Amino acid sequence: MLCFAYMIRAVLIFVLVLPAMVVAESISLPLEQWKQMDRGQKVIELAPLKKLMKAVELAPDSSINIRYPGGDQGVTWAGQLRDWLVSLGVASSRMILEPGSGKADMMVLEIQPGAPTQ
């Protein structure tokens, strides 16, 4: 009987706490994939952006850290991505642009729980 009570307690904790926990997610967007995209093509057709938009939809109170390569090209690329995300309905206030993706040809998009802290 005591074992059953512990099992019920564990199930309740799992059911009540797990949905509130949002795990940060990291998505890579290679520069080559971005460059090859025809501007007439929908940006949302890029697999990393499909994944990002799905994650944003599932966690409406989350923020997006856009980590981009340093230099002018990285700044331009991050700005373009931010503009596209805004056009797709993501509030710019949810996004933080940060230099330092770790690679010169890659942006890293991180979904974080809660509002941006900058």
Domain with residue 98: its CATH number is 3.30.1330.60
Q: Kindly state whether residue 17 falls inside one of the protein's structural domains.
A: no
Contacts with 4 (C-beta within 8 Å, 6 or more apart), sequence order: none
- Residue 106, domain extent: 23-112
The reported pLDDT for the residue numbered 75 is: 93
Q: Kindly state whether residue 8 falls inside one of the protein's structural domains.
A: no
Q: Kindly state whether residue 62 falls inside one of the protein's structural domains.
A: yes
pLDDT band at residue 109, thresholds of 50, 70 and 90?
A: very high
Q: Kindly state whether residue 7 falls inside one of the protein's structural domains.
A: no
Counted residue by residue, the chain has a size of 118
Other CB atoms within a 10 A radius of the CB of residue 80 amount to: 12
Domain count, the chain: 1
Q: Kindly state whether residue 39 falls inside one of the protein's structural domains.
A: yes
Task: Give the residue among 19, 84, 87 at the shortest CA–CA distance from 48.
Answer: 84
Q: Kindly state whether residue 11 falls inside one of the protein's structural domains.
A: no
Q: Kindly state whether residue 12 falls inside one of the protein's structural domains.
A: no
Q: Kindly state whether residue 6 falls inside one of the protein's structural domains.
A: no
The reported pLDDT for the residue numbered 69 is: 93
pLDDT above 70 (res 36)? yes
What mean pLDDT comes out for the span 22-35? 78
